Structure 1
Amino acid sequence: MRESRIRLGVDIGGTFTDVVLEKDGQQFSTKVLTTYVAPENAIIDGMQQVCDKAGIKPADLGQIIHGTTLATNALIERRGAKTALVTTQGFRDVIEMRTESRFEQYDLNLSLPEPLIPRQQRFTVSERIGAQGEVLIELVKSEVEKLVDHIIDGGFESVAVGLLHSYLNDSHEQLIRDVFQQKAPDIMVSISSEVSPQMREYERFNTVVANAYIKPLMKSYLGRLEGRLREQGVECAIFLMHSGGGIISIESAADFPVRLVESGPAGGAVFAANIAARYDLDKVLSFDMGGTTAKICLINDKTPKTSRVFEVARTYRFKKGSGMPISIPVIDMVEIGAGGGSLAHVDSMRQIRVGPESAGSEPGPACFGRGGTRPAVTDADLTLGKLDPNNFAGGTIKLDEGSSASALVNELGNKLEMDALTAAYGLVEVVDENMANAARVHAVENGEDLAEYTMIAFGGAAPLHAGRLCEKLGIKRLLVPTGAGVGSAIGFLRAPFSFEANRSVFMTLSDFSSQQIGQLLTDLENEATSFVRSCDDQAEILSEFKVYMRYSGQGWEIPVALTVEQAMAPDSEEFKRLFEAEYVSLFGRPVDGMDIEITVWAVNATTPTPAVDRVHELEQGCEARSSGTRPMFDPAIGQTVEAEVALRMNMHDGDFVNGPAAITEDETTVIVPSSRLVIKQPDGCLDVISK
């Protein structure tokens, strides 16, 4: 295989598929409408477009990195395979009973997501592993064989195996998989001790069920994609972005597709962290708004905040606790149904509501002229003058202002006695306030003051709304990077190869075993490193160690990072000091006289992140050349103003534009409110600051 440094990043979103090609330091990008029936078609189309722009053939590509919302959408829309769950006798209903906690105490009509697998598709075996990993009831192979025959007769495509305490002893899960491979090799099997070897049955069972549920779909899609790319002459390796912010091989992605949930947003967070490093920013709010959702992430010390549990398919206004928990390493972010395609309606209280339902790309917002009749955020942006109807997506999609106005009046205006402009104003203020509230709550939950943060905005719709969001949040500085419209796809090209291995082994500091810990962390390091080696067998690999600790009696633990030295020569007093320092930073004081417990151990193997050049920031210089003006509604003052229009490609380093203004480019438009001015920095970023 010929080596090439030409790389392609591909992000499939709910409305657009973004494709970015990097060659000799240059970027070539495009946005094409996502093709839901066969998502690979949009990838092939976008790849051909950027290859033509770069003057190369697909065969010249050296690496393809792909992220997708397909796994998330399959879980939300319940489009997975016919799946069976095999579990320990007596634990058949764990995924339905959940944790019995109520996220909304006084709601008598509480709505929770139905389990992915109905009760009649859950089966049990007579076995039992104890809390220390000992075998209490031996699993009998003949019982498993009868169960496998029954599952074969049921026409199941995929099986999830989740047994009690299998994260400590996986022998019974391995036996079940072995029997399936012998008797039914065509049925895909996922075992919880590999997918999510962590304590807490509900989260672990739910994660392995989700993996099994989407595995046939994702395996089929990845196989089709690889085949189509090979037909186009592409010979290079194909990698997938995972939800933890790293890259894994296409083979690993096919085996563990649950790790692809949130892969697109993770790329965006990596992109924002790269910008933060270039500007030496320690407190950054990443704001990614696409066609279907808006994602908000805190980035401290140039590193996105991470978590090991997150939720999908929330049923209660995106409220924490109302979704399906997935227990895998993930970049911690808040996601709400607010994108360019999010649809608006009037509720029973005569209030405008926006999202989570989205027009997507089929039919798309009303202004797309593809059959949409309900108003989307994009329709409101067009009516308010934020978008140029003749220059959307580089002029490839002509927007129909009349259709937008009609949709706004029919759905909102007639019910609330508003004209199209007022309805658009109300719609946009609602969606902006929804996003601002989500950011405020996320910051408070993490003990942060957003006034100290810089916002980095990207995604096709984010630059249209970021300036107003900064006004609402009291954020003084906003950066809109080059390629903001395809930011997540660029982030894929900045991500390291990485994989996190974790395992639950309960231990107290009063019963601390240095030898056991050393062996456990070594095993996890070897496991994580082997995944990374499957992607790149030559690269340098770094190991990052983390343990999750709590005081005895507490329900949840906090992450504590270890250096290599602390991991390889574990000491109980050092572990206590590190835990108490983290605990005090979160809660203000330690708890005296209580033992400390360790529940989860994790090792992340990663290739080094390349160093970035620090940007030499410029003050405002010359006023940028104007391309004219256009009327634009400014929600901060509640009236239409005459806004300056400038082409981003014509701005020179240090050029500035006073708001109100619209800075246009092929993939998005940057709206500069009346309260701000924008300066172009040497790396191409637009620096939007308070006047």
Structure 2
Amino acid sequence: MSLDTARLGIDIGGTFTDVVLETSGESHSAKVLTTYAAPETAIVDGMRQVCAQAGITPAQVGQIIHGTTLATNALIERRGAKTALITTQGFRDVIEMRTESRFEQYDLNLKLPDPLLPRQMRYTVQERVDANGQVLIPLDRAEVEVVADQIAVAGFESVAVGLLHSYLNPAHERMIRDVLAEKLPNVAVSISSEVSPQMREYERFNTVVANAYIKPLMASYLGRLEARLQDEGVSCRIFLMHSGGGIISLQNATEFPVRLVESGPAGGAVFAAHIAARYGLDKVLSFDMGGTTAKICLIKNQTPKTSRVFEAARSYRFKKGSGMPISIPVIDMVEIGAGGGSLAHVDALQQIRVGPESAGSEPGPACYGRGGDRPAVTDADLVLGKLDPDNFAGGSIRLHPEQSQAALTAHIGDALALDVTEAAFGVAEVVDENMANAARVHAVENGEDLSEYTMIAFGGAAPLHAGRLCEKLGVRRLLVPPGAGVGSAIGFLRASFSFEANRSVYMKLSDFDGGKIKRLLTDLQAEATGFVRTCDAQSPILSEFKVYMRYTGQGWEIPVSLTQEQVMHPDPAVFEARFEEDYTQLFGRPVAGIDIEITVWSVNATTPPEKVAPVAQASGVTAATVAGTRQLFDAARTAELTASVVHRGAMVAGAQVNGPAVVTEAETTIIVPASRMALCQPDGCIDVTLKGE
């Protein structure tokens, strides 16, 4: 891809669809309200806007990279396809029994989330493969044909196949897929040995069910998107951002849509990692807040932390264990229902609660004037002076302060005997504390001290709240990069093509088999490389090797990275040393006298990352040009202060403004609290630090 090729990044969020066009060294962006009934309509609208800004036609776009929350929303809202599960006899209820863990130990009325598929949609076949992959009970094709006939009569649109220990021997799952393809050619089929070939039945079955559940929906959407773009004259290939922070082809995304569940937030983490690399920062807290959710991610050594299991659709106060486990490679982050559209109410204990319910884009917060009458975070921000009603979203959306005031008074102020400013302050402070608490917990779980971190904020709402979060968390430095309002879409354009292949093969170090290990990782490398080659036929491909290890008897593993040399010449002493090194870093000390075992093997194939030019820090400091002033409520001082208003486009390198201040731009607004000052760095980043430092 040449440097002057026009590249388009598209991020569909719960409230806004962000579109970014990069061409000839210039960047153009647009935010349009997400169109739920036909998401591709908002994409086309945004594409037309940025192409007009750049003076090109859609036909001149050479590459499109897309991320979306559609897959996540379909799981949360339970509006996927009519799906059946075929599993091993005796294991029909695995996805309903879960792991039997209680995520709220003392709640006597605790209700576990319902499985995606009720019992009558789950079918069994008589077969059995043991924990070594040996067939104990062969699968009878005639029995599969009977089940296929039952599925046909019931009118299912999609089928998930999850059999016991199929990650070691997928022959039976493949037979079922072949029979279904012959008898039900129009029904989508997903098999767990391809979607998530890992141990632990509950997570694997749940993942293949989720994949099957959203597969027809995503296939339909991606097909419509491709057709609409072709109608606009676009002939280039379309790629998708996956949850692990890389890019896959449209065809692979259609086959494995569950890998798209965290695609939008993953783009944001890649964007933050790119900024961290430019500034040489090894400890970064990525803060992404949009219209519906806020995402927090730890980035160490300019690389986002990753995981191979995460929970979607947590149903109980965002507690771990209350959601739907999805076993795929994913960037590890905390996601909470705190966005500009998150709705506020007063609960039975007379406390202000915010989220997770969101006004979205239809009808949106009360101030949008689109029929919403309940107060959202955006309404509170407007009343507190953080937003300009005449210049929201670049002036494309006119805000109505009187409707915000009415909603806050009716739902918060009257219930708690507060005036409208106090009600707005209460809503903003609750949502900020929710996000700060989520960041604290995430840091503690990972053994990190956030006072050593730099925050990078992006997303339409994050710069409005990031300064206050820094005050709450003791974070001394905040960076708001150019294009922060559309950060995830920019992140798509910074990501490498990548695909992670993994497989569960159990092995103790006492039974170490170097030849088997070399063959296994070589096969996984070839599989992952093959997926990447469907996207990029020319670039060199790098391979990253990981094994998941634990002491025998432990319940969970830790990831251990290996070099190419260690993979090609496996040595049990090296594996043990690498494991003990990482284990000690996490838990303080190794455990002597216990055997070590490997449960999962992983290879991530990726094209080389984009080269990053370091940023020289601003040298001379000048006063920023102040366009005016306005009243801004400062949460730390619980008072309205007169704040300077500065247009970001007018800030040159070295321009500085002391808080309280408001830095405005088309996609977002940066709030500089009274305790801070803001400096424009040479690359356009707004560097917010404590006064006097």
For the superposition of Structure 1 and Structure 2, which TM-score range results when normalised by the shorter chain?
over 0.9
Structure 2, unaligned runs of 5 or more? none
Please state if 1:478 is matched with 2:478: yes
Counterparts in 2 of 1:2 and 1:644: CA distance versus 1, 3 Å? closer
Cα distance in 1 for residues equivalent to 2:679 and 2:500: 40
Structure 1, unaligned runs of 5 or more? none
Counterpart of 2:314 in structure 1 is: 314
Counterparts in 2 of 1:669 and 1:321: CA distance versus 1, 3 Å? same
Counterpart of 1:660 in structure 2 is: 660
Q: What aligned pairs does 1:484-563 form with structure 2 within 5 A after superposition? A: 484-563=484-563
605-614 or 196-205, which moves further after superposition? 605-614
Code of the aligned partner of 1:239: F
Match of 2:40, SS? helix
Counterpart of 1:379 in structure 2 is: 379
Counterpart of 2:175 in structure 1 is: 175
Counterpart of 2:574 in structure 1 is: 574
Q: For each residue in 1:438-489, what CA deviation from the matched residue of structure 2 results, as whole angstroms up to 9, or x when unmatched?
A: 0000000000000000000000000000000000000000000000000000
Counterpart of 2:328 in structure 1 is: 328
Q: What aligned pairs does 1:324-473 form with structure 2 within 5 A after superposition? A: 324-473=324-473
Code of the aligned partner of 2:558: I
Cα distance in 1 for residues equivalent to 2:411 and 2:616: 49
Counterpart of 2:278 in structure 1 is: 278
Match of 2:425, SS? helix
Cα distance in 1 for residues equivalent to 2:668 and 2:112: 37
Please state if 1:258 is matched with 2:276: no
Q: For each residue in 1:36-66, what CA deviation from the matched residue of structure 2 results, as whole angstroms up to 9, or x when unmatched?
A: 0000000000000000000000000000000
Counterpart of 1:295 in structure 2 is: 295
Counterpart of 1:104 in structure 2 is: 104
Cα distance in 2 for residues equivalent to 1:2 and 1:451: 41
Asked whether the equivalents of residues 4 and 60 of structure 1 are also in contact (C-alpha less than 8 Å), the reply is: no
Q: For each residue in 1:225-260, what CA deviation from the matched residue of structure 2 results, as whole angstroms up to 9, or x when unmatched?
A: 000000110000000000000000000000000000
Cα distance in 2 for residues equivalent to 1:11 and 1:112: 32
Cα distance in 2 for residues equivalent to 1:106 and 1:394: 49
Code of the aligned partner of 1:594: I
Cα distance in 2 for residues equivalent to 1:8 and 1:425: 38
TM-score of the superposed pair, with normalisation by structure 2: 0.99
Counterpart of 1:166 in structure 2 is: 166
Q: What aligned pairs does 1:125-274 form with structure 2 within 5 A after superposition? A: 125-274=125-274
Tell me the CA shift for residue 24 of structure 1: 1.0
Asked whether the equivalents of residues 3 and 24 of structure 2 are also in contact (C-alpha less than 8 Å), the reply is: no
Tell me the CA shift for residue 78 of structure 1: 0.2
Please state if 1:16 is matched with 2:16: yes
Match of 1:645, SS? strand
Q: For each residue in 1:531-566, what CA deviation from the matched residue of structure 2 results, as whole angstroms up to 9, or x when unmatched?
A: 000001111100000000000000000000001101
Cα distance in 2 for residues equivalent to 1:506 and 1:522: 17
Code of the aligned partner of 2:324: M
Match of 1:372, SS? coil
Cα distance in 1 for residues equivalent to 2:17 and 2:167: 38
Q: For each residue in 1:313-358, what CA deviation from the matched residue of structure 2 results, as whole angstroms up to 9, or x when unmatched?
A: 1111111111000000000000000000000000000000000000
Q: For each residue in 1:650-679, what CA deviation from the matched residue of structure 2 results, as whole angstroms up to 9, or x when unmatched?
A: 011000000000000000000000000000
Cα distance in 1 for residues equivalent to 2:158 and 2:49: 37
Match of 1:355, SS? strand
Asked whether the equivalents of residues 549 and 598 of structure 1 are also in contact (C-alpha less than 8 Å), the reply is: yes
Q: For each residue in 1:495-530, what CA deviation from the matched residue of structure 2 results, as whole angstroms up to 9, or x when unmatched?
A: 000000000000000000000000000000000000
Tell me the CA shift for residue 111 of structure 1: 2.7
Counterpart of 1:590 in structure 2 is: 590
Cα distance in 1 for residues equivalent to 2:600 and 2:88: 22
Code of the aligned partner of 1:102: R
Asked whether the equivalents of residues 284 and 455 of structure 2 are also in contact (C-alpha less than 8 Å), the reply is: yes
Match of 2:667, SS? coil
Code of the aligned partner of 2:149: D
Cα distance in 2 for residues equivalent to 1:312 and 1:46: 28
Asked whether the equivalents of residues 4 and 25 of structure 2 are also in contact (C-alpha less than 8 Å), the reply is: no
Cα distance in 2 for residues equivalent to 1:438 and 1:497: 31
Asked whether the equivalents of residues 4 and 23 of structure 2 are also in contact (C-alpha less than 8 Å), the reply is: no
Asked whether the equivalents of residues 267 and 488 of structure 1 are also in contact (C-alpha less than 8 Å), the reply is: yes
Tell me the CA shift for residue 129 of structure 1: 0.5
Cα distance in 2 for residues equivalent to 1:51 and 1:487: 19
Asked whether the equivalents of residues 661 and 673 of structure 1 are also in contact (C-alpha less than 8 Å), the reply is: yes
Counterpart of 2:631 in structure 1 is: 631
Tell me the CA shift for residue 433 of structure 1: 0.2
Match of 2:165, SS? coil
Tell me the CA shift for residue 32 of structure 1: 0.1
Code of the aligned partner of 1:52: A
Code of the aligned partner of 2:438: A
Counterpart of 2:31 in structure 1 is: 31
Cα distance in 1 for residues equivalent to 2:610 and 2:664: 31
Code of the aligned partner of 1:86: I
Counterpart of 1:677 in structure 2 is: 677
Cα distance in 2 for residues equivalent to 1:112 and 1:124: 24
Match of 1:168, SS? coil
Cα distance in 2 for residues equivalent to 1:83 and 1:456: 41
Counterpart of 2:72 in structure 1 is: 72
Asked whether the equivalents of residues 112 and 323 of structure 1 are also in contact (C-alpha less than 8 Å), the reply is: no
Asked whether the equivalents of residues 619 and 679 of structure 1 are also in contact (C-alpha less than 8 Å), the reply is: no
Cα distance in 2 for residues equivalent to 1:76 and 1:633: 35
Match of 1:145, SS? helix
Q: Count matched residues.
A: 691
Tell me the CA shift for residue 104 of structure 1: 1.4
Match of 1:106, SS? coil
Counterpart of 2:608 in structure 1 is: 608
Tell me the CA shift for residue 167 of structure 1: 0.1
Please state if 1:687 is matched with 2:687: yes
Code of the aligned partner of 1:323: G
Match of 1:62, SS? strand
Cα distance in 2 for residues equivalent to 1:2 and 1:387: 39
Code of the aligned partner of 1:206: N
Asked whether the equivalents of residues 190 and 212 of structure 1 are also in contact (C-alpha less than 8 Å), the reply is: yes
Asked whether the equivalents of residues 546 and 561 of structure 2 are also in contact (C-alpha less than 8 Å), the reply is: yes
Cα distance in 1 for residues equivalent to 2:577 and 2:299: 25
Cα distance in 1 for residues equivalent to 2:619 and 2:151: 68
Asked whether the equivalents of residues 4 and 62 of structure 1 are also in contact (C-alpha less than 8 Å), the reply is: no
Asked whether the equivalents of residues 111 and 315 of structure 1 are also in contact (C-alpha less than 8 Å), the reply is: no
Cα distance in 2 for residues equivalent to 1:474 and 1:620: 27
Tell me the CA shift for residue 67 of structure 1: 0.1
Q: For each residue in 1:570-590, what CA deviation from the matched residue of structure 2 results, as whole angstroms up to 9, or x when unmatched?
A: 110000000000000000111
Please state if 1:59 is matched with 2:59: yes
Question: How large is the Cα RMSD of the aligned pairs?
Answer: 0.9
Cα distance in 1 for residues equivalent to 2:505 and 2:448: 32
106-115 or 535-544, which moves further after superposition? 106-115
Asked whether the equivalents of residues 314 and 324 of structure 1 are also in contact (C-alpha less than 8 Å), the reply is: yes
Counterpart of 1:648 in structure 2 is: 648
Match of 1:133, SS? coil
Code of the aligned partner of 2:120: Q
Tell me the CA shift for residue 568 of structure 1: 1.2
170-179 or 616-625, which moves further after superposition? 616-625
Q: What aligned pairs does 1:79-98 form with structure 2 within 5 A after superposition? A: 79-98=79-98
Asked whether the equivalents of residues 620 and 679 of structure 1 are also in contact (C-alpha less than 8 Å), the reply is: no
Tell me the CA shift for residue 112 of structure 1: 2.2
Cα distance in 1 for residues equivalent to 2:645 and 2:606: 44
